[in-house]
Chain A
């Protein structure tokens, strides 16, 4: 946020805040231990408001749940912003002293009345008003979101529309007030921090910022390419254009995890050379020219990961890797050696110390201190620094230290794929508690909660379609069709359906999801496809 790519707050603050606004996140199932902290807060008297198309198990805990239409988040957020301003609940001092662009924002949300938002989102105006007042009047408030916000064609605008609310109320930069994306996958945070983004160098430093880049040029003795690369969807577009012809995939399974699977596989198959480095022979690995068997980072090798509260944590080797599998670091070092750069013996701590030299925000995090303190939250500027509990306290200095935070007016755009007579149902996707992504890790253990893929639908839709629990139906979108059993779920209302993508070998959900992506972040609109359901037998 505001130049630092991480959630602003700590789990501890979630316990001590007055209100948690969970937007597009079923943290109860997808981030269970994070939700423990939410629950501690609830039991201390904090409140929980959730915004989610489904009344998820997280929403069940909420004092207020808003069941909006998939993809109408900006409409609701803008109406909340308008209501906060109209009711005189905006934090005028904070806006005046610490932000830019408020007038443009005010003008942009002015048309977004509660009634308008009700029409766009389906949520009663009164409930939107309640949300606005609850968030604005809470002495401390946390705004958290997950893929319900970011797996849309307009992911960045979705996020910005929420950040606008935090700026409006001054709910950032203070203990107990912050804005937090919950990381869906282990070390997504750390990967970004380490520069595994198309435009970032280690330490989240922008590659196009010349003075920053110069530091790396000096440290590494090479000229770092000065321009950003492609993000994942950009890579696939480049493959489509024939500009990208070779791919080295580490620990990803795009053949099953990307939207519009037919297209993804076609593009991967069209590559001149595909290298996959993974624990498993995934569907993607099956397409590869070379497969490099890798050790499991979390238990067969040493290193660090970074969690959703910016805490850098040590992972350690507990068991040896099986067979010919090798540590990722070892493999990369070996490739470097064969490419003519001898980096010496791979040593995770030495690599980490190199990172500390080039990333000021990690400078104070020696292995010894990480051990001693049970992990450290970045930034940690030197070896006396304890790490920072929350970010952006500078916005509360007067005058503000550093740049102000900007409002970013956002415009509501409905999902790319509208519902129509042919495809009248909205399909949204997500995860279940006991499963994980495409199931390559979670598929292996004996799991009493496992029920295979289903199309979850409301009891009313089931009755209308004349289908019952367990009946296998054909689910079709404009891109493909899958056969899947029905599951009745009263968390859903008529017109809304839900699937996971945990069992791609049984049911390739991503055959039917849409590949529309956000032009800025490259995130795909997994959350909103239009489908129809047909009985297989009359």
Chain B
């Protein structure tokens, strides 16, 4: 055999998990029983089939993880055989993701977030109470996790139980006791009613995360908590699919004109004009095109996309459908981060309902156009939020970024022209089309138009997702969130997440617009507004951010792979209160590292890995002496 795949036998569970995804093997040459009469005479799928179904590699690995709780080498070999992917590459992919365990693990794992928002809320105390990380007791273990996107409920944990019907449970606020209680509950049957709670109960639940829920003036969050996220009828009764109807009336060129008039820009962080992106794809000579919804929301401090997907999933599907019709794509993917099981489940239900109603499929809403959507799950890799890494991940390769140019509008998923948009951006599309471009552009200010979602967390009284126009100030948001939580003054605000930047208390009145923040060297990024009062352990936060980038660097390029390590090391040296000369050296080193990472890294991860740290140090926020922790557990 040229493709040398060991003949190790997967366990029945592992085989069942893979076969449930891939179907039964077609021949003895791809892992089935050998039918000598045929397999001895003809084979039709050569090794070049490596490319053919490779995109099912990560789903297959995830299926085993979900079923068994870890993925054995025998299971990987079986997947290799089924998909004709070399075992070394299967290993390379499987070992890339946090959420894939390649060593035996118990069926239940509590992923305990120790990232900045949860750290602010005492995550270190939770971890300390849980004992040794990785220790197994009662068929369960626990691990630290980077941001779970539950910052408004911090400190948070996510319990995952592997099995034929895997279940998950969010524990927030997390304590060792709450995790233990949930651990018992997670052994029971899945709570099918979670998404279908009615009326006030639902609204109450949602208001924990979206304090404005139910407010009639909301646009993006109008249906959140108000409608049953599983009901297409409910969605339609509340304005759903009016955007698609309008898009069909307008036609492709008309939609692009409206988007351009509305000056909608991407909400994922890069703020690229959406109309231009769609137009670029629509204008390609290549006819096979894709729409990708980037739902790999992993930026620490960000949870807006999760809430949209969980509580208004049809809006995302509607936005994608409009994108598909406009760009001439017949297939769309939603790449949902692995830490969002509920979002993925509700999106899947929405896709199924939309398809059943003729709003997806071979003839979308009677237009004769074909468009359908498939969900793919991430498996724990921040880098996969970078669009080209996301493509690689989705195609079954390691989630490493690609060199740009070429850009996705020309060479994207599977090498084809691709519209890739963030969840929030897509949710804006029906809003914009329903209101009209001009009305949309009338909101906000300058190039920052339309409604915006802000993920407010940290030391505020009512952390949560807030909708407000572009141009509000941090002080406005602080007011919405009930002020600081501990009655202490604001020391710093982290805007845009770990890849964003810190601003001081003097920036509370800067308008949160793209241009307003650019003027002070900051960025709104994914809409994170994380507040730190003067009791926050800012040096510890900086080290956590440095560790985050060190952990999440894919390792492809030198500046990021080694630079994030050196940055982390320098911050640890600074924390040891060295002599002034050494501090100065390390500050200079950090500045040079930052410059090289920003200039020479392949992708946005490395390019922004020093941004928050450099901004804090520039403001004197992370000084190990001046900002020594006064409360909270530093790690």
Contact of B40 among A28, A42, A58, A67 (CB under 8 A): A67
B28 at the interface (CB under 8 A from A): yes
B residues in contact with A42, CB < 8 Å: 48
Contact among B1, B34, B41, B46 with A122 in the assembled complex (CB-CB below 8 Å): B41
Chain B residues positioned under 8 Å from A123 (CB to CB): 41-42
- Indicate if A63 sits at the interface (CB-CB under 8 A): yes
Chain A residue at smallest Cβ distance from B38: A124
Which of B2, B28, B34, B41 touches A28 (beta carbons < 8 Å)? B2
A61 pairs with B42, CB closer than 8 A: no
Contacts of A65 in B (CB 8 A): 42-44, 46
CB proximity of A522 to chain B, nearest CB, Å:
32
Cα(A124)–Cα(B40), bound, Å: 11
Q: Which residues of A contact B34 (CB under 8 A)?
A: 459, 490
CA of A460 to CA of B28, assembled, Å: 13
Of the residues B36, B44, B46, contact of A458 by C-beta under 8 Å: B36
B42 touches A60 (CB 8 A): no
**Is B47 among interface residues, defined by CB-CB distance under 8 A?**
yes
| Minimum Cβ distance to chain B for residue A497 (Å) | 13
The listed residue (B28, B40, B42, B46) touching A494 by CB distance below 8 A is B40
A185 CB contacts on chain B under 8 angstroms: none
Give bound CA distance, A64 to B43, whole Å: 6
Contact in complex: A48, B46 (CB < 8 Å)? yes
Question: In the complex, which residues of chain A have a beta carbon less than 8 angstroms from the beta carbon of B21?
Answer: none
Question: CA–CA, A65 to B28, complex, Å?
Answer: 14
For B196, list chain A residues within 8 Å (CB). Answer: none
Please tell me if B3 contacts chain A, counting CB pairs below 8 Å: yes
Interface size (B, Cβ < 8 Å)? 18
Contact of A493 among B3, B29, B40, B47 (CB under 8 A): B40
**CA–CA, A460 and B40, complex, Å:** 11
Chain B residues, CB < 8 A from A63: 44-46, 48
Contact A61 B41 (CB under 8 A): no
**Residue of A with least CB distance to B45:** A63
Partner of B46 from A43, A62, A124, A492 at Cβ < 8 Å: A62
Residues of A close to B40: CB separation below 8 A: 67, 458, 492-494, 496
Q: Which residue from A127, A460, A490, A491 sits with its C-beta under 8 Å from B41? A: A127
**Max chain A C-beta neighbours (<10 A), residue from B44, B45, B47:** B47
Q: Pick 5 A–B contacts, CB within 8 A, sort by A.
A: A57-B2, A61-B46, A64-B43, A66-B41, A460-B36
The reply to whether B43 and A124 form a contact with Cβ atoms under 8 Å apart is no
Other-chain residue from A57, A66, A491, A496 in contact with B42 (beta carbon distance below 8 A): A66
CB <8 Å contact, B3 and A60: yes
User: Does the CB pair B28–A60 fall under 8 Å?
Assistant: no
Binary flags per residue of B19-57, CB closer than 8 Å to A gives 1, else 0: 000000000110000101011111111111000000000
Report A351-372 residues with CB < 8 Å from chain B CB: none
Per-position binary interface string of chain A over residues 33-69, scored 1 when its CB falls under 8 Å from any chain B CB and 0 otherwise: 0000000001100001000000101111111111100
A64 and B42: CB pair below 8 A? yes
The interface on chain A, measured as residues whose beta carbon lies within 8 A of the other chain's beta carbons, has a size of: 29
Q: Which of B28, B38, B40, B47 has the most CB of A within 10 A?
A: B40
Interface flags for A112-146 (1: CB within 8 Å of B; 0: not) read: 00000000001110010000000000000000000
B36/A55 in contact, CB under 8 A: no
Which of chain B's residues have a CB closer than 8 A to the CB of A28?
Answer: 2
Identify which of B2, B38, B44 contacts A64 (C-beta below 8 A).
B44
Complex contacts, B38 vs chain A, CB 8 Å: 124
B interface list, Cβ under 8 A from A: 1-3, 28-29, 34, 36, 38-48
Contact (Cβ within 8 A) B41 A124 = yes
Complex CA–CA separation, A57 to B3 (angstroms): 8
Chain B residues within an 8 Å CB radius of A458: 36, 40
- In the A-B complex, the 9 residue pairs with the closest CB atoms: A493-B40, A57-B2, A65-B43, A67-B41, A62-B46, A127-B42, A60-B2, A61-B47, A61-B46
Task: With CB as the reference atom, state the residue of chain A lying closest to B28.
Answer: A490
**Contact (Cβ within 8 A) A493 B1:** no
B41, A493: Cβ atoms closer than 8 Å? yes
In addition to A63-B45, A122-B41, 6 A-B residue pairs with Cβ atoms within 8 Å of each other are A59-B46, A61-B48, A123-B42, A127-B41, A493-B36, A493-B39
- Measured in the bound complex, the distance between the Cα atoms of B46 and A496 in whole Å is 22
Q: Mark A442-470, 1 if CB is under 8 A from B, else 0.
A: 00000000000000001110000000000
Q: In the complex where A28-B2, A491-B1, A493-B36 touch, is A60 in contact with B46 (Cβ < 8 A)?
A: yes
* Interfacial chain B residues near A493, Cβ < 8 Å: 36, 39-41
* In contact, B2 and A61 (Cβ under 8 angstroms): yes
Closest residue to A59 on the B side, CB-wise?
A: B43
Which residues of chain B come closer than 8 Å to A127, judged between CB atoms? 41-42
Q: Which of A196-214 contact B (CB under 8 A)?
A: none
Complex: how many Å from CA A42 to CA B48? 8
- Cα A60 to Cα B36 in complex, Å, equals 16
In the assembly, what is the distance between CA of A491 and CA of B41, in Å?
Answer: 10
Shortest Cβ distance from A79 into chain B, in angstroms? 15
Give chain B residues whose Cβ lies under 8 Å from the Cβ of A61. 2, 46-48
* Chain A residues with CB under 8 A of B42: 64-67, 123-124, 127
Interchain CA distance A31-B178 in the complex, whole Å = 65
**Could you tell me the distance in whole angstroms from the C-beta of B107 to the nearest C-beta in chain A?**
35
In angstroms, Cα B36 to Cα A59, docked, is 16
User: Assuming the A-B contacts A28-B2, A42-B48, A491-B1, are A62 and B43 also in contact, with contact meaning beta carbons closer than 8 angstroms in the complex?
Assistant: yes
**What's the minimum C-beta distance from B543 to chain A, rounded to whole angstroms?**
46
Contact pattern, A 470-510, Cβ under 8 Å of B = 1, otherwise 0: 00000000000000000000111110100000000000000
Residues of B within 8 A of A491 (CB): 1
CB closest residue in chain B, given A56: B2
Task: Report the minimal beta-carbon distance from A228 to chain B, rounded to whole angstroms.
Answer: 42
In whole angstroms, how far apart are the Cα atoms of A122 and B43 in the complex? 14
* Bound Cα distance from A235 to B44, whole angstroms: 44
Contacts of B1 in A (CB 8 A): 57, 60, 490-491
Q: How far is the CB of B52 from chain A (nearest CB, A)?
A: 11
**Closest Cβ of chain B: how far from A163's Cβ, in Å?**
25
CA distance A454 to B593 in the complex (A): 59
Minimum CB–CB distance from A489 to chain B (whole Å) comes to 9
Point out the residues of chain B lying under 8 angstroms from A58, CB to CB. 2
The interface residues of chain B lying within 8 Å CB-to-CB of A62 are 43, 46
Cα of A67 to Cα of B37 in the assembled complex, Å: 11
